[in-house]
Amino acid sequence: MFALALRILRFVNRAYPFVALAGYMLAFAVAFICVFTFPLGALGLVVAGVLSIAFVALVADAMKGLERMMARAQLRHGRCPACRLGPIERAAQGGWQCRGCAMGFEADGSDRPTEPEQHAAMSAV
C-alpha cells in the first residue's frame, strides 16, 4: 500500500507543473474574454492568479518533500522507489542506484539525473 501511494505521488509530482500551467492558461482565456464583457471580472482573475502563485509553489514543495521522505523509506528497505524492485546499491558519488531500472537517487531521496540529462545540461551552459 505504501509503495502504491509513492507511485501515485511520483506521478502527481511529474504532472503537477503541467496542470498548474493549464489552470493559469484557462484563467488567462477567461480573463481575456472578461476584458470585453465584464472588466471587473478580468481584474479579479488577475489578482487571484497573482495571489495563487505562492500557494501553488508551496503545494509543489510540500509534495516533493513528502515524495523524498517516502523514497528514503523505500531505499532503507532496499527497494527502488521508481520500479519497486531493486536491488539497490550505494553509488560511488553518494546516494543509491537501482540495478533494475538504472534510476539514481540522491541521499535525500530525490531523483538523480541520468547520464544523458547531465550531458545535455552541461552542453547547454
Window from 42-56, 90-104, 108-122 with minimum mean pLDDT? 108-122
Residue-range domain boundaries for the chain: 2-124
Residue 119: pLDDT over 60:
no
**What pTM was computed for the model?**
0.73
- The rounded distance, in Å, linking the Cα atoms of 29 and 21 is 12
Residue 95: pLDDT over 70:
yes
Structure confidence at residue 57 (pLDDT): 94
- In Å, how far are 31, 83, 85, 107, 118 from 70, measured between CA atoms? 39, 14, 15, 13, 25
Give me 49's grid cell.
492568479
Structure confidence at residue 63 (pLDDT): 93
